[in-house]
Amino acid sequence: MSPTSLIPTLSLLTTLLAPVALSQTFTSCNPLNTTTCPPNPALSTNHTYDLTVSSFGSSTWNTTAGLLTYTRSGAEFTIATRGDAPTIQSQFYIFGGEVEVWMRAAEGQGVVSSIVLQSDDLDEVDWELLGGNNTHAQTNYFGKGNTTSYDRAVWYPVADPQGGFHNYTTRWTKEKLEWFIDGATVRTLKYEDANGGENFPQSPMNVRLGVWAAGDRENNNYTVEWAGGKTDYDKGPYTMVVQSVRVTDFSDGKEYRYGDMTGSWDSIKIEPGNSTAEEELNKPPPMTASQRWNSLGPGAKIGVACAVGASCLALILLSAVYCSRQRRAGRRERAIADADFEKEMRELSAYRATMAKGGFAVSSREV
């Protein structure tokens, strides 16, 4: 598959768009500027996140902006009001690998659905889909945050990305980068073709997914124009849905360290050991009550049964004692009430007898 005739115009426009490339990318410590940056925790395995039945999980991903909603369709990234830009980022890094995302892009003029791989020294590989463009997806890359030119974006046909789910895959090795749409290769970038390798991504990268309004009125005119126009929030909400994510790390180790301040592929050190992310992903799920019961031995089951029986018996005895006490207390209260009633009846009978005999008390003042 090759780019269509509209690509030159879009690529020319993209050369003016530094804010677009930087809108959802950042680094907290750049190894090109200091040797004190922490190592990158490795994935060191492959894993598929089926978001129709589970979440990304806080043990391997961080939500860096906004909130995600999980439904039977997948993870929903929604722009409901101005300022919304829900984004999630993996805690792990891959050093060479493959990222496959089944996604339905968000609708909406100026709204951008993005899949980003980025390293601490700002190597970057992108997918970007515009809410107002239902025929193409943009591929892009950067090396070491080099924004001296923006002519690396290339657009490729995809059928109605906002109306249905499509597979967007990136494969990254030391020698080349490849982009796939629904299993078909649409673009290949060789190391030497990226400015002699200088702009070729070659340091460990994490994975970032998000949606944002490039068409916001506060963005510059070039960004808004690239995004297809201003975003009308009153016509929202605008939702990107991610059905599943498969991530494969081609390297094997505990973590990745920068051996120097060049950020070159060969300078990256792979520290041996067990990957924390891999350990988290391989943890068995919590057992259900029936599974815990089935895992017990015969002696343990008898002990549990005896304990339960003893508890039930103790509960029955306590209930019986309580009821007995309540009955005794009730009898005492009834006896007191009966005595009071009998006393009142005797007094009432005596009063009636006195009335019948004409025995009224007369005050001396009335004589």
Catalytic residue list: 124, 128
Share of the chain above pLDDT 70, in %: 78
CB 176 within 8 A of CB 125: no
What is the rounded CA–CA span in Å between residue 319 and residue 272?
62
Mean pLDDT of the chain: 85
Q: Which two tokens stand for residue 172?
A: 């990254």
The per-residue pLDDT for 27 is 84
For range 325-333, the mean pLDDT? 70
The per-residue pLDDT for 73 is 97
Q: For the chain, count helices (H), then strands (E).
A: 6, 18
The per-residue pLDDT for 365 is 40
Residue with tokens 């605008």: 238
Mapping DSSP to helix (H, G, I), strand (E, B) and coil, where does residue 127 land? strand
For range 25-49, the mean pLDDT? 93
What letter represents residue 175's amino acid?
Answer: E
What is the rounded CA–CA span in Å between residue 227 and residue 189?
25
The per-residue pLDDT for 17 is 42
The phi and psi torsions of 151 (rounded to 5 degrees) equal: -105, 20
Confidence of residue 360 (pLDDT cuts 50, 70, 90): very low
Q: Which two tokens stand for residue 23?
A: 């809108």
The per-residue pLDDT for 295 is 66
Q: How far is CA 221 from CA 145, 224, 311, in A?
A: 22, 5, 74
Residue 258's Cβ-side half-sphere holds a number of Cα atoms within 13 Å equal to 22
**For residue 291, is pLDDT > 60?**
no
Can you give the length of the chain in residues? 367
For range 219-234, the mean pLDDT? 96
What is the rounded CA–CA span in Å between residue 54 and residue 37?
33
**For residue 263, is pLDDT > 60?**
yes
What is the rounded CA–CA span in Å between residue 92 and residue 60?
7
Q: How far is CA 232 from CA 65, 214, 351, in A?
A: 21, 11, 91
The per-residue pLDDT for 293 is 54
For range 188-193, the mean pLDDT? 97
The per-residue pLDDT for 168 is 98
What single-letter DSSP state applies at residue 94?
B
Read off the pLDDT of residues 89-133 as tens digits, 9 standing for 90 and up: 999 999 999 999 999 999 999 999 999 999 999 999 999 999 999
The per-residue pLDDT for 187 is 98
Mapping DSSP to helix (H, G, I), strand (E, B) and coil, where does residue 53 land? coil
The per-residue pLDDT for 361 is 45
What is the rounded CA–CA span in Å between residue 102 and residue 95?
22
The per-residue pLDDT for 326 is 66
H-only helix segments in the chain:
7-14, 18-22, 221-226, 276-281, 289-294, 298-356
What is the rounded CA–CA span in Å between residue 218 and residue 200?
32
